[in-house]
């Protein structure tokens, strides 16, 4: 599949795969480091409460699959394994938490971030296929999953704009403006994902936005609060979303960006 893409999309797909693989590897490391905690879900996605044994198992799975994905080895199998683990988490942990905490933004954010990461695994698996119904269904699932995440975080950027503005680096002007602007950008990309209109350019730009988040927002916060596991997790989530968007951009052909 990769050799059939134009050179620019080929590079974008590879970079996206690397970002995604590194993020999954990092989640695996976090699981192994924090598996002993009683409530590891406080660290954020993709964590959830459970026994020490399962913490180690999932940590090993994520670490091994992430390294393999970043290296471009057994990509389809590794992506399928990652998506399976994340789907189990969504069904058994995040969906029930959301059902009993509908007015709490936390379960919405964590649950849909896991769905967004799962979408990256589906897009990655699709990128290994040359065409056919399986590729179409995987890309469709990835588009819908990522669109759902972007709608949720887009709404939160408007509902909690004042809080979001506090996360923006102090050297940047117009904090509140950027909180709203990013929310609008999320909605625009979600619309492109659903309709297929400007799908490739929208996912390229969305990946670029997350790329800028990684270096302008999350890395400085990690440097300032290096002992805060939540900050590390947010960094890796942003990296995974950057990879997801660019994998999607590199996987859709010029004539495949059609409406759902």
Q: Quick check: 207 pLDDT over 80? A: yes
Q: What does the pLDDT read at residue 43?
A: 42
Q: Where are the domains of the chain?
A: 2-251
Q: What is the 3-state secondary structure (H, E, C) of 69-110?
A: HHHCCCHHHHHHHHHHHHHHHHHHHHHHHHHHCCCCHHHHHH
Distance CA 127, CA 75 (A): 9
pTM of the complete model? 0.88
Dihedral of the alpha carbons of 141, 146, 151, 155, in degrees to the nearest 10: 150
| Segment 93-109, tens digit of pLDDT | 888 888 888 888 888 88
d(CA 257, CA 259): 7
pLDDT in tens, 35-64: 666 554 444 455 555 567 777 888 899 999
DSSP label of 37: S
DSSP letter assigned to residue 43: G
* Nearest alpha-carbon partner for 141 in 161, 130, 125, 159: 125
The span from the CA of 140 to the CA of 125, in Å, is 12
């Amino acid at each position: 599949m990769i050799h059939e893409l134009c050179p620019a999309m080929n590079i974008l797909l590879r970079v996206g795969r690397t970002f995604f693989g590194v993020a999954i590897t990092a989640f695996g490391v976090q699981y192994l480091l924090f598996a002993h905690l009683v409530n590891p879900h406080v660290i954020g996605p993709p964590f959830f409460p459970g026994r020490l044994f399962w913490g180690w198992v999932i940590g090993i799975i994520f670490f091994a699959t992430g390294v393999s994905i970043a290296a471009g080895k057994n990509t389809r199998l590794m992506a399928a394994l990652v998506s399976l683990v994340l789907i189990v988490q969504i069904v058994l942990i995040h969906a029930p938490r959301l059902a009993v905490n509908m007015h709490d933004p936390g379960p919405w954010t964590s649950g849909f971030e896991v769905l967004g990461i799962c979408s990256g695994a589906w897009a990655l698996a699709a990128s290994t296929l040359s065409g056919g119904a399986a590729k179409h269904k995987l890309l469709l699932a990835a588009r819908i999953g990522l669109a759902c995440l972007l709608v949720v975080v887009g709404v939160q950027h408007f509902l909690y704009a004042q809080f979001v503005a506090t996360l923006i680096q102090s050297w940047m002007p117009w904090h509140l403006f950027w909180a709203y602007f990013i929310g609008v950008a999320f909605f625009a990309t979600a619309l492109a994902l659903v309709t297929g209109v400007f799908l490739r350019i929208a996912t390229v730009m969305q990946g670029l936005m997350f790329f800028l988040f990684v270096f302008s927002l999350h890395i400085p916060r990690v440097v300032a609060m290096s002992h805060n596991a939540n900050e590390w997790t947010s960094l890796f989530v942003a990296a995974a979303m950057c990879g997801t968007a660019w994998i999607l951009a590199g996987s859709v052909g010029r004539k495949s960006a059609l409406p759902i």
